[in-house]
Amino acid sequence: MHTLDPPTVDADVPAALDIVLDDLLRKRLAEVQAVEAAFATDIARRVISFTAGGRRRRSQLLWWAMRAAGGGRDEAGVALRTAAAVELIQTCALIHDDVMDGSRLRRGEPAVHVALSRQNGTRGRDDTRADFGRSAAVLAGDLALAWADDVFMEALLRTPHSAALGVQWRAMRNEMAAGQYLDLHTQVTGSRSPGRAMRTAVLKTAGYSSAYPLVLGALLAGASERTVRGLRKAGLCAGIAFQLQNDLQGAFGSPEHTGKPAGEDLREGKATYLLAVAHARCVRRGDTEGLELLETVVGRSSATDAELSRVLDLLVAHGARAHVAARVAELSARAVDALRQADLAAEPTERLVRLLIDAAGLSPADVAGPEQAADDVSRAGPALPQCETVTGGVR
Give per-residue pLDDT as tens, 270-325: 889 999 999 999 999 999 999 999 999 998 989 999 999 999 999 999 999 999 99
Give the whole-angstrom CA distance, residue 151 versus residue 156: 9
pLDDT of residue 381: 38
Distance, in Å, from the CA atom of 252 to the CA atom of 266, rounded to the nearest integer, reads 10
pLDDT at position 368 is 64
Going along the chain from its start, the domains and CATH numbers come out as: 1-159 (1.10.600.10), 173-395 (1.10.600.10)
Where residue 392 falls among pLDDT bands split at 50, 70, 90? very low
Average pLDDT of the segment spanning 129-137: 92
Q: How far from chain centre, in Å, is Cα 328? A: 15
Measured distance CA(126)–CA(59) in Å, rounded: 39
What percentage of the chain has pLDDT greater than the value 90? 73
Q: Map residue 272 onto helix, strand or coil.
A: coil
Q: Give residue 269's pLDDT.
A: 85
Is residue 258 within 8 Å of residue 247, measured between CB atoms? no
- Please tell me the least confidently modeled range out of 15-19, 50-54, 147-151: 50-54
pLDDT of 168: 97
Burial state string for 102-139 with b = 16 or more CB within 10 A and e = fewer than 16: ebebbeeebbbbbbbbeeeeeeeeeeebbebbbebbbe
Q: Do 112 and 96 touch, CB atoms closer than 8 A?
A: no
